[in-house]
Structure 1
C-alpha cells in the first residue's frame, strides 16, 4: 500500500471517529478505500457517508446497482473493487456468465432489458463522459429520473473508490488473487 495503513493506536481522535462511524454503519466495517481516506479525515467522513447511501439506499435494486459497480470496476481494472462486488453481484442474482463476460470486456447477453440498459448507460458514460439523448431518455423511462441520477452517482462514487484503490495500491485480502486482466 502506498499510504500508511493506520492502526487504531496511530490514528488521531478525528481519524478514530471516522473509522468508528464507518464500522458502526450499515457496512459493519471500515471499507478498503477509507484506509487511504483516513489521512484526510473530513474527506473520509464525507466519502464513506456518500458510499453508505450509494451502496445501500438508492432506489435501484441491488442487482442493477451491483451491475453498475462491476462495469465501473472493470473499466478502471480495480481489482479490489471487482473482488468485493463480484461476490455482492452474485448474491444479488447476477448470472455468473454475465459477470465473466464483463470481466473479459465482452458484451453480455442480458435477458433483463433494465440490466442491459444499466450496462450500456454505465459503459457509455465511462467511455465517453456523456450519454447520447436516446440512451438517456430510455434510462429515464425505465429507471425514472431519480434512478438515473442515482445511477450516475453510483458510477461517480465507485470511480472515486476505484481510483483510490488503484492509486494507493490497496491490496486484495490475503490469499486472494486478481481476476481481471488488463
Structure 2
C-alpha cells in the first residue's frame, strides 16, 4: 500500500465531506465485502480518492451515477467488471466483485474462468456479449463493429453506452488500485 489509510479524525474538511458521502454510498451499495478498517479508515479505491478529494469526488460521483442509473442486469455488469479486473490483474477489484458475484450465486467454475481472463462456456447470450465487449475494449483500440452492433441489438443504445462507460470506469478503478498497490483485506 503506497498511501496510508486515512483515519476519520485525520481528515481535512474537504476529505471529511467526501468520506461521509462515500461511506453512506458504500453502506447502501457495497456491503458484500470489507471496505473499512475497524477505526473507520476506508480501504480499496476509496482511500486514494480521499487523498485527492477534488479528483476523488469526481470519480465517486461517476461511480454513483453508474450505480443509480444502471439499466443492465447486475449479472451482466459483474461479467464486464470481472473481465476488466482480470485484464488489469487488480487484486482488490477481483476480490470485491468475486464477493458480489458469489452473493448473486455465480458458480465457482464461472468465477475461476473469468478471473483467469478466459471466457466461460456457460454464458447466456447477454453475458457473452458483455464479455466480448469488455474483453475487446480492454485490449485497446476501436471496439469492433460486429461487437458494437451485437451489443446494440442485445442492450439497446442506452445499455450499450452503459456497458462501455462501465468498462471505462472499472479500468480507471483498476488503474487506481494497481498504481497505489491497494491490497486485498484479510479474509475472516
- How far residue 38 of structure 1 moved from its aligned partner, in angstroms, is 1.1
1:62 and 2:74 correspond: yes
Give the aligned partner of residue 119 of structure 1: 131
TM-score by length of 1: 0.89
Among 126, 136, 144, the residue aligned to 1:132:
144
- The offset of 1:158, in angstroms, is 0.7
Deviates more, 1:29-38 or 1:16-25: 29-38
Are residues 1:12 and 2:30 paired? no
TM-score (norm 2): 0.86
Give 5+ residue unaligned stretches, structure 1: 177-182
Which consecutive segments of 4 or more residues in structure 1 shift more than 4 A?
28-31
Q: Superposition pairs for residues 88-167 of structure 1, below 5 Å?
A: 88-167=100-179
Evaluate the alpha carbon distance shift between residue 146 and residue 168 of structure 1 in structure 2; reply closer, same or farther with a 3 A threshold: same
Stretch of structure 1 that moved more, 156-165 or 87-96: 87-96
Q: Structure 1 stretch 103-112 or stretch 145-154: which is displaced more?
A: 103-112
Work out the number of aligned pairs and report it. 176
Q: Distance in 1 between matches of 2:112 and 2:178?
A: 21
Alignment deviations for residues 78-104 of structure 1 (CA, whole Å, 9 cap, x no partner): 010000001111223433222111222
1:23 & 1:11 partners in 2: Cα distance? Answer: 14
Structure 2, unpaired ranges of 5+:
36-41
2:175 is equivalent to residue 173 of structure 1: no
CA-atom RMSD, angstroms?
1.8
